[in-house]
Amino acid sequence: MSHLEVTDLTISFGRRRKVAVDHVSFTLDKDERLGIIGQSGSGKSVTSLAVIGLLPDNAHVSGSVRLDGRELVGMPERKLQDLRGDEVSMIFQEPMTALDPTMKVGRQVGEVVALHHSERRGGIRAEVIDWLGRVGILDPERIAESYPHELSGGQRQRALIAMALANRPGLVICDEPTTALDVLVQRQILDLLDVELRGRAALFVSHDLGVVRQVCQRVAVMLDGRIVETGPIEQVVAQPQHPYTKGLIASARIGDVPPGQRLPTVADFYEGAAE
């Protein structure tokens, strides 16, 4: 049994039942990372929200999402709340909206732990400082006492990653976690995620095949709510089958980069220019 099993997931919205996700199926093993790529509106975010039980009320869902064998579709909200932040967590694109602007960062990280593990309350401050340091925040004591608006975009995303990982969830969903960041910080955050997601299952939603190639072993390509192609990332890059994937790879010129080597970023050009 895979850690995550999504079968025939279909999601539509509103009274007209406009279909956003159409019979999507995939599995994820315990230590596997799957990238979901596709253009804007292809259904990537809606798929990932279904996996963490965060779809809005106007969503109609059919099919199955099983986490460690437990069915999440139709699961009561109270039970979903027990899972969220503990067994499955999410890193969003825009940390400013995911963080509470009125609460100090350290307290927000601590509350995720306290919510699910009251027995760890005693040592929570040390645990929070430890996590903030681990995700690369240089001055964790000061940052713990700061409000989100006092942090840079990169620090906020690191704090959000600390929140998402603090309970060591088996599955982490990353929805465009680096899109809002400048290229240098983007690369640092990807390197951090690459290390911290080891041994966990991860769904990595992105419109950027280069980003997915850096951190995932497999990729699923979505178009108009369907998965049109899926496979090991290097295989899909070398031999794309679907015309949409072929176009995506041609436009990214990703085939020019040898396997295992990172795609050049704008930062590389800046670094080259500075030498």
Ligand X SMILES: Nc1ncnc2c1ncn2[C@@H]1O[C@H](COP(=O)(O)OP(=O)(O)OP(=O)(O)O)[C@@H](O)[C@H]1O
Choice between 207 and 226, CB closer to ligand X: 207
Q: Which of residues 43 and 85 has its CB atom nearest to ligand X in the complex?
A: 43
Task: For residue 73, give Cα distances in angstroms to 57, 60, 86, 92, 164.
Answer: 13, 10, 18, 22, 22
Contact indicator for 3, 30 with CB cutoff of 8 Å: yes
Closest distance to ligand X from the beta carbon of 44 (Å): 4
Nearest to ligand X of 13, 147 (CB atom): 13
By the rule CB under 6 A, 97 interacts with ligand X: no
Q: Tell me, residue by residue from 26 to 65, as one string, x for binding to ligand X by CB under 6 A and - for no binding.
A: ------------x-xxxxxxx---------x-x-------
Please provide the size of the chain in residues: 275
CB environment 41-76: b (16+ within 10 A), e (fewer): ebbbbbbbbbbbbebeeebebebebbbeeeebbeee
Least distance between ligand X and beta carbon 45 (Å): 3
Q: Minimal distance in Å, beta carbon 38 to ligand X?
A: 5
Stretch 180-219 residues interacting with ligand X (CB under 6 A): 207
Provide the 8-state DSSP code for 140.
Answer: H
Least distance in angstroms from the C-beta of 52 to ligand X: 13
For ligand X, the closer of residues 109 and 222 by Cβ is 222
Nearer to ligand X, 23 or 207 (CB): 207
Report the relative pairing of strands 171-175 and 201-206 from DSSP bridges: parallel
Burial 195-208 (b: 16+ CB within 10 A, else e): ebbeebbbbbbbbb
Cβ atoms within 10 A of the Cβ of 149, count?
Answer: 9
Given a contact cutoff of 8 angstroms between Cβ atoms, the answer to whether 44 and 37 are in contact is: yes
Pick 58 or 118: Cβ nearer ligand X: 58
Single out the residue of 11, 35, 20, 13 nearest to residue 175, CA to CA: 35
Q: Residue 196 has which token pair?
A: 């911290």
E strand spans, 43-158:
59-67, 70-71, 88-91
157 Cβ contact partners less than 8 Å away, ≥ 6 residues apart: 91, 95, 177, 178, 180, 181, 185, 189
Q: How many residues bind ligand X (CB under 6 A)?
A: 14
| For ligand X, the closer CB: 48 or 108 | 48
Shortest separation between residue 175's beta carbon and ligand X, angstroms:
7
Minimum CB distance to ligand X, residue 13 (Å)? 3
CB of 11 to ligand X, least distance (A): 8
Q: Which of 20, 211, 220, 237 binds ligand X (CB under 6 A)?
A: 20
Residue number with CB closer to ligand X (11 or 236):
11
Min separation Cβ 186 and ligand X, Å: 16
- Write out the residues near ligand X by the rule CB under 6 A: 13-14, 20, 38, 40-46, 56, 58, 207
